[in-house]
Amino acid sequence: YMTSSPNRHLVKVIINHTTTEDNNDQWDEVTAKVIDGGLYHYTYAALGDSITRGENSATGYSPMFGDRYTDFVSKTTGMIVNNHGIGGTRITYTDNQKGMVTRVHQLGSADIYSVFGGTNDFAANVPMGERGSGNMNHFKPAFEHICQTLRETGKKCFIITPIKRSNTMTPN
């Protein structure tokens, strides 16, 4: 499974952490798959909270599981990843200007965007609100604003739904 791309050596640098074996055949196979996948030159901007950032407050904000999910995306696709995760942030507007509804305008240009948030809004009992109301202190209109802003870029965007918080017993 080989390719003759002029960028083959650059892709090897990008994915050099995907294997611990010193096996050139394996490197060539992984390199070819990344190049043939067509994503190695794309940029990916990930907007989120501590889960995106890959930090855990219980361990002094060190990576939770070793690599962040954005690192995994970079290693397996070769994409250039810009991690815009900030611990403790919400989808909604916040006085410190770190809410995702504010930060979505600071992402810069990318080929692919993702939004992973909502668990801190849930923990803070942020009101759901009504779509179209324009109230960025409420979840639905703030989330709608983020989606509309990213949709207007004309680029690919995906949403990662919030994970269940450990201190909740009811479905959310």
> How many angstroms separate the CA atoms of 172 and 170, rounded?
6
pTM to 2 decimals? 0.73
Instruction: Determine the pLDDT at residue 130.
Output: 95
Instruction: Determine the pLDDT at residue 20.
Output: 46
Between 72 and 122, whose confidence is greater? 122
pLDDT tens per residue across span 80-136: 999 999 989 999 999 999 999 999 999 999 999 999 999 999 989 999 999 999 999
Between 98 and 65, whose confidence is greater? 98
Laid out side by side, the sheet with 43-48 consists of 80-85, 43-48, 112-116, 156-160
Three-state SS at 43 = strand
* Tokens standing for residue 44: 């990916």
Q: What are phi and psi of 100, to 5 degrees?
A: -65, -30
- Secondary structure (H, E, C), 53-71: HCEEHHHCCEECCCCCHHH
| Least confident span in 1-10, 27-36, 152-161 | 1-10
Distances in Å between the Cα of 109 and the Cα atoms of 31, 143, 147 are 26, 20, 15
> How many angstroms separate the CA atoms of 10 and 12, rounded?
5
Predicted confidence (pLDDT) at residue 24 exceeds the cutoff of 70: no
- Would you say 44 and 79 are in contact if contact means Cβ atoms under 8 Å apart? yes
